Amino acid sequence: MENLIKKLVYAFGPSSKENSVKEIIKEEISKEVDEVYEDNFGNLVGHIKGPNKSLMLAAHMDQIGVMVTNIDKNGFLRIGSIGGLRKSFLVGQKILFEGGVEGFVYYENKESPWEAKDQKLEKFYVDIGATDRTSAKKLVQIGTEGIYKPSFSANGTRITAPALDDRIGCAVAIQLLKNLRRKKIKYDLYVVFTVQEEIGIKGAKVSSYDITPDIGIALDVTDAGDTPESPAISLALGKGPAIKIMDAGMIASKKIRTLLIDTAKKNKIPYQLEVLTGGTTDAAAIQITKTGVESAAVSISTRYVHTPGETLDMTDVENAVKLLKKFIEK
């Protein structure tokens, strides 16, 4: 799976600009499903027809990013946030803009970027090497999107890259489709690769309304609590995929999470239980579709979420695929 993940994290895909990611996924899943289609909002859906209840799996294609809001007379760019940008990680980062232009992020010199107590996004700027506004506008425009410059490193079972939120969920879904035994699938299965999750779980709202599944499961990352002086989160890398109980946007269906736990126990698949006080996933949107959908989430514990150095353990990814495969073929 490592090559697949690498290919996905190098694709340019901030919210609303997920096409490069979408093309990779189409190529990967086209032979694994009965049909592939794109809805009006831009979500990509892989459908395997089945006789029983409908199950929707959702993994979002988009990543956090920035957008050019202003270009000053000297050619420096001011930026706005696309999704939950963590300002304390911006200084010294390389930004890749749509079209291939790169820039370096810094903070106004009148205030030390490392000592500023109240960092404001409007005080950050991006230097793309332009000499003035005119030369800058030949490279980028107001509204041009950018992402952390893609990178990928692996050390044993640990991988580090920007955009693992949620390209790793996409990779789990792709690998799952490749591993499923079609004759043993017990659901009418929809695997949805959603758009614009980072700016309000928008794609999942649209796709779940269209599909109206009986069951929904989001595939996403979650915070890890195994770093020095980390918040009291009972999750660690390498201890298995996390089965969500609650986050800031939802309490998971007791029935579905119990089925996932029982499946893990029966098949001796390591797992963790996830309780978060902040953040949410596509499952929160699926859950309240029309008259309600029994929804849950399977998460991958990840350090440094929404930074250029998101880090996770591949054994958790592999075990997530195993867990979902057993659940769907149950």
Structure tokens belonging to residue 132: 């003035």
Q: Using one digit for the tens of pLDDT, what is the confidence trace for 145-161?
A: 999 999 999 999 999 99
Token pair 């991958």: residue = 300
pLDDT of amino acid 233: 87
pLDDT above 90 (res 18):
yes
The pLDDT mean for the chain works out to 95
CA dihedral 24→157→176→246, nearest 10 degrees, is -100
Please give the model's pTM, rounded to 2 decimal places.
0.95
Q: Using one digit for the tens of pLDDT, what is the confidence trace for 286-324?
A: 999 999 999 999 999 999 999 999 999 999 999 999 999
**132: nearest Cα among 75, 66, 69:** 75
pLDDT above 70 (res 116):
no
Angle of helix 164-179 relative to helix 2-9, nearest 10 degrees?
140
**297: nearest Cα among 315, 270, 272:** 272
- 122 catalytic residue (yes or no): no
Q: Using 50, 70 and 90 to split pLDDT, how confident is the model at 277?
A: confident
Q: Using one digit for the tens of pLDDT, what is the confidence trace for 170-193?
A: 999 999 999 999 889 989 999 999
Sort strands 35-38 and 44-48 into parallel, antiparallel or unpaired: antiparallel
Between the CA of residue 28 and those of 4, 21, 167, 184, 315, what are the distances in Å?
9, 11, 14, 21, 21
Structure tokens belonging to residue 214: 């009986």
List the single range of 96-100, 114-118, 264-268 with lowest mean pLDDT: 114-118
Q: What structural domains and CATH numbers belong to the chain?
A: 2-63+162-329 (3.40.630.10), 65-148 (2.40.30.40)
**201: nearest Cα among 180, 178, 220, 182:** 220
Which of 28, 32, 98, 197 is flagged as catalytic? 197
